Amino acid sequence: MRATIQDVARRAGVSIGTVSNALSGKRPVAVETRQRILAAMDELGYHPNLLARGLVNQRSHVLSIVIKELSDLGLYGYSSALTGIQREANELGYSIMLHFVNGSTEDEIINTLNQISARRADGIIWAIHEIDGNREWVRHTLTGNYPPIIFLHMHPDPALNVVTIDNQAGASLAVAHLIEQGCRTIGIITGPADWWESKARLAGWRQTLEQAGLDTDVSLVLEGNWLAESGKNCMETLLNQRPDIDAVFACNDSMALGAIHTACRRGLSIPDDLLLVGYDNTPEVASYWPPLTSVSQGLLQSGQIAVEQLHQIIEAGVNQPVAPRQHIIQPELVIRRSSICEKKA
Amino acid sequence: MRATIQDVARRAGVSIGTVSNALSGKRPVAVETRQRILAAMDELGYHPNLLARGLVNQRSHVLSIVIKELSDLGLYGYSSALTGIQREANELGYSIMLHFVNGSTEDEIINTLNQISARRADGIIWAIHEIDGNREWVRHTLTGNYPPIIFLHMHPDPALNVVTIDNQAGASLAVAHLIEQGCRTIGIITGPADWWESKARLAGWRQTLEQAGLDTDVSLVLEGNWLAESGKNCMETLLNQRPDIDAVFACNDSMALGAIHTACRRGLSIPDDLLLVGYDNTPEVASYWPPLTSVSQGLLQSGQIAVEQLHQIIEAGVNQPVAPRQHIIQPELVIRRSSICEKKA
DNA sequence: TTGTATGCGTTATCAA
DNA sequence: TTGATAACGCATACAA
């Protein structure tokens, strides 16, 4: 069996309370006594039982991260945000529990929330991407008796704590850059239409083009599913129905990869015949051929901020409620050869 | 405050023990009483405190997954394995706790193990890739008083429980295929030399070539770091020092992407001038240009098996020790255009 | 400065 | 079939 505080106390010839004080430091302990206790802990290989400690302290020092589905983890966004979360959580002394949700059915959501609650997590980072109808289940998180929740990468909402990225601005950055390169007819390959990110990026594309008085016809808009394969297909269709395009904005890098594939297959050269911009700025895009211009989101940062903010709320406690805050991160454009018009240069 | 079993008992007008029996079903409860209890639980929104339950049961139903570093999560291997783990864990009623280790210093390893132990996880999946000297710290996991451990993706060891993939066989598959396509001079871009995977894949390359009586000179071996950027550079060097090569085996898909980049830059056509095979078979390789032949590892499966096996050991309990088992998964080759020699066809 | 006793929310062992 | 009561391992208020 593993050593308990009892064992340590006996071994050191002191009372159980003194041992507790020795390692918490909340009450003074004679220096000589502490020595003996420390030695005893060492010899016994003692480590406090965090379940017991959590029980009495009403504080588990666990943060629950909820992400959507499993294979989605491969999506660059999740890994990056998780990395940021991990770093900050580690800094602040939290452990991380990972929860997965497949669909977004109400039952599943509630089950997950209940499980988190049952485990007495101190806080939740809700990183499920928002899709149509989700506003519905978000309400559940408010009515039940749950720990504080931060919504990651969602549409801002004054009633909620959200840390998110300005997707519309990111798309604008990309499109404005293409316009500046002299492009006039710019197609877009979006993510799934029901994702919030997709809508925001599409809106950025549309708004920027409209401001410049350029074409935003539906024939320029193709809906992909974030995967490279869909980028291939969308590009195919796009080139067929709009042979006049001179640039494409792919809403993530994988789909941009697919777009490159199709361009190659049809003997089109990027950037000579067509400019291309992606989204995410994954480490790989610099090795695409040609190197891909892309929008960097600051996902690492978003994860970190989410934990920071959650921590503040937790520390404040239930009696000292913190007003909901929106934290919106501005993305940046990283320019590479795929979007540099040679003719212009 | 959240409702406790006490509250439910009071509300239903029964004793606390009866409530416990009602939801565990371990002792019979009058059907009418159970109704009342269920109703009370519902009204109060009661969910058992899993910390308390874990404390008394000596069983947390938590599995700790240890992975190396943070940004590494982007590496396809981790996400896939984690997905497999998640699925099976969910099936068997475990929650997942994620632990990150940056370096592999002894201190860090021990700290992590102690934290896991302190949280009373039921089992550990050690998914830190094995690099030089790791055999050293692995011993720590054996001496201390820790929950059962499964080593994921490590060199098999009869004294340990390991679930892993036959990397040497995977590399052989790739190289044999290239030889069959008529290649005679086959270069390799490896991962970091101190990773077990790198060594195994290199060994597979060497052995297969030697069996065929082909060149395995060191000038054919370039060391990358798994990232696409390194693939670019290695390919550059390789082409310079061995202009006679007719194929390259890149030890993961990202580096293969970099290799394609360099080939393009130098005006070389794949597969016309040079055949190429990658490793991992990520979803994206079908959208590379050309589509990349790659080795599929069955990572999802490995994660799942690891959980299964861990579960068995946990269920068996300390008194009924299960003999260590090695589970070795065989990879498969997925052939695409990058490795199909047109001349031969 | 240290020891004792009580409670955190469960489960399990007794009696009733 | 049900109700008290003792653990589980720790923290803390109170007494010494």
pLDDT over 80 (residue B71): no
**In terms of domains, do A186 and A72 share one?**
no
Nearest Cα residue in chain B from A286: B229
Lowest mean pLDDT segment, chosen from A54-58, A75-79, A166-170, B26-30? A75-79
Identify the pLDDT of residue B126. Answer: 93
- Listed in order, strand segments (DSSP E) in chain B are 62-68, 95-101, 123-126, 149-152, 162-165, 186-190, 221-223, 247-250, 275-280, 293-296, 326-329, 332-334
A20 touches strand D (CB under 7 A): yes
Identify the pLDDT of residue A72. Answer: 63
Give the containing element (helix H, strand E) for A260. helix A253-265
Q: Which of B100, B117, B118 sits opposite A90 (nearest CB)?
A: B100
Query: Protein B122 CA to nucleic acid D10 C1', in Å?
Result: 20
What is the average pLDDT value for chain A, to the nearest integer?
Answer: 92
Q: CB of A89 within 8 A of CB of B70?
A: no
pLDDT over 60 (residue A344): no
Encode burial over A95-128: b for 16+ CB neighbours within 10 A, e otherwise.
bbbbbbbeebeeeebeebbebbbbbbbbbbbbbb
Q: Does the residue B345 lie in any domain?
A: no
Q: CB of A104 within 8 A of CB of A113?
A: no
Q: Which of B48, B80, B87 sits opposite A118 (nearest CB)?
A: B48
If you measure CA to C1', which residue is closest to nucleotide C6?
A56
Q: Which of B52, B55, B118 sits opposite A47 (nearest CB)?
A: B118
Q: Does the residue A344 lie in any domain?
A: no
Query: Protein B114 CA to nucleic acid C10 C1', in Å?
Result: 25
Query: Protein B256 CA to nucleic acid C7 C1', in Å?
Result: 61
pLDDT in tens, A123-151: 999 998 777 666 666 776 677 789 999 99
Over residues A165-175, the mean pLDDT reads 98
**In terms of domains, do B279 and B257 share one?**
yes
Nearest Cα residue in chain B from A287: B258
pLDDT in tens, B158-206: 989 999 999 999 999 999 999 999 999 999 999 999 889 999 999 999 9
Q: Does the residue B323 lie in any domain?
A: yes
Q: Report chain D positions within 7 A of protein CB atoms.
A: 1-5, 7-13
**In terms of domains, do A176 and A281 share one?**
yes
pLDDT over 50 (residue A268): yes
B25 touches strand D (CB under 7 A): no
Nearest Cα residue in chain A from B119: A50
Nearest Cα residue in chain B from A229: B287
**In terms of domains, do A291 and A174 share one?**
yes
Query: Protein A322 CA to nucleic acid C2 C1', in Å?
Result: 40
Selection from B154, B161, B190, B171 nearest residue B68 by Cα: B154
Angle at A325 between CA A322 and CA A330, to 5 degrees: 155
Rounded to the nearest angstrom, the minimum Cα separation between B259 and chain A is: 9
Sorted by sequence, the CB contacts under 8 Å of residue B281 that are 6+ apart come out as B253, B294, B295, B296, B297, B334
**In terms of domains, do A255 and A109 share one?**
no
Counted domains in chain B: 3
Identify the pLDDT of residue A345. Answer: 46
pLDDT in tens, B302-318: 999 999 999 999 999 87
Q: Does the residue A345 lie in any domain?
A: no
**In terms of domains, do A74 and A47 share one?**
no
Q: Look at A97 and B99 and tell me if their CB atoms are within 8 Å.
A: no
pLDDT in tens, A52-110: 999 999 999 999 999 987 566 567 888 889 999 999 999 999 999 999 988 777 888 88
Query: Protein A219 CA to nucleic acid D9 C1', in Å?
Result: 66
Identify the pLDDT of residue B1. Answer: 67
Q: Does the residue A51 lie in any domain?
A: yes
**In terms of domains, do A93 and A151 share one?**
yes
Highest-confidence range of A114-118, A142-146, B339-343, by mean pLDDT?
A: A114-118
Query: Protein A18 CA to nucleic acid D15 C1', in Å?
Result: 15
Sorted by sequence, the CB contacts under 8 Å of residue B213 that are 6+ apart come out as none
Query: Protein B55 CA to nucleic acid C14 C1', in Å?
Result: 21
Taking residue B243's Cβ as centre, other Cβ atoms within 10 Å add up to 8
Q: What is the DSSP string of B71-140?
A: GGGGSHHHHHHHHHHHHHHHHHT-EEEEEEESS--HHHHHHHHHHHHHTT-SEEEE-PPPBTTHHHHHHH
Identify the pLDDT of residue B345. Answer: 46
B54 touches strand C (CB under 7 A): no
Rounded to the nearest angstrom, the minimum Cα separation between B303 and chain A is: 12
What is the average pLDDT value for chain B, to the nearest integer?
Answer: 92
Q: CB of B92 within 8 A of CB of B311?
A: yes
Return the higher-pLDDT residue of B87 and A1.
B87
Interatomic CA distance for residues A163 and A69, integer angstroms: 20
**In terms of domains, do A162 and A308 share one?**
yes
Last residue of a domain, one of A37, A57, A77: A57
pLDDT over 60 (residue A45): yes
Interatomic CA distance for residues A212 and A192, integer angstroms: 26
Q: Look at B287 and A95 and tell me if their CB atoms are within 8 Å.
A: no
Nearest Cα residue in chain B from A265: B289
B14 touches strand D (CB under 7 A): yes
Between chain A and chain B, how many beta carbons pairs sit less than 8 Å apart?
A: 149
Question: Among A62, A63, A70, which would you mutate to test the B interface (most chain B Cβ atoms within 10 Å of its Cβ)?
Answer: A70
Interatomic CA distance for residues B85 and B331, integer angstroms: 18
**In terms of domains, do A307 and A288 share one?**
no
Phi, psi values for residue A316, rounded to 5°: -60, -35
Q: CB of A253 within 8 A of CB of A284?
A: yes
Q: Look at A228 and B284 and tell me if their CB atoms are within 8 Å.
A: yes
Rounded to the nearest angstrom, the minimum Cα separation between A258 and chain B is: 5
Interatomic CA distance for residues B306 and B92, integer angstroms: 12
Identify the pLDDT of residue A2. Answer: 87
Identify the pLDDT of residue A73. Answer: 57
Rounded to the nearest angstrom, the minimum Cα separation between A309 and chain B is: 21
B59 touches strand D (CB under 7 A): no
Q: What are B195's strand-pairing partners?
A: B131
**In terms of domains, do A173 and A268 share one?**
yes
Query: pLDDT category, B79, cuts 50, 70, 90?
Result: confident
Query: Protein A38 CA to nucleic acid C1 C1', in Å?
Result: 17
pLDDT in tens, B214-267: 999 999 999 999 999 999 999 999 999 999 999 999 999 999 999 999 999 999
pLDDT over 60 (residue A267): yes
Strand nucleotide closest to residue A9 (CA to C1'): C3
Q: Which of B80, B97, B288 sits opposite A96 (nearest CB)?
A: B97
Strand nucleotide closest to residue B27 (CA to C1'): D1
Identify the pLDDT of residue A343. Answer: 63
Name A residues 40-79 whose Cβ lies under 7 Å from strand C. 52, 55-56, 58
Last residue of a domain, one of A39, A57, A75: A57
Strand-strand pairing, B332-334 and B293-296: antiparallel
pLDDT in tens, B134-149: 666 777 667 778 999 9
Instruction: State which residues form the domain around B39.
Output: 5-57
Q: Look at A100 and B90 and tell me if their CB atoms are within 8 Å.
A: yes
Identify the pLDDT of residue B70. Answer: 60
Identify the pLDDT of residue A133. Answer: 62
Rounded to the nearest angstrom, the minimum Cα separation between B256 and chain A is: 10
Question: Among A47, A91, A124, A257, which would you mutate to test the B interface (most chain B Cβ atoms within 10 Å of its Cβ)?
Answer: A47
Interatomic CA distance for residues B146 and B140, integer angstroms: 10
Q: Considering only CB atoms, which chain B residues are within 8 Å of A231?
A: 287
CATH code assigned at B206 = 3.40.50.2300
Identify the pLDDT of residue A134. Answer: 63
**In terms of domains, do B89 and B233 share one?**
no
Q: Which of A76, A100, A145 sits opposite B45 (nearest CB)?
A: A145
A23 touches strand D (CB under 7 A): yes
Interatomic CA distance for residues A296 and B335, integer angstroms: 33
If phi > 0 it is left, if psi is from -120 to 50 it is alpha, else beta; for residue B282 that is beta
Nearest Cα residue in chain A from B111: A47
**In terms of domains, do A80 and A103 share one?**
yes
Interatomic CA distance for residues A14 and A9, integer angstroms: 5
Last residue of a domain, one of B26, B42, B57: B57
Q: Does the residue B344 lie in any domain?
A: no
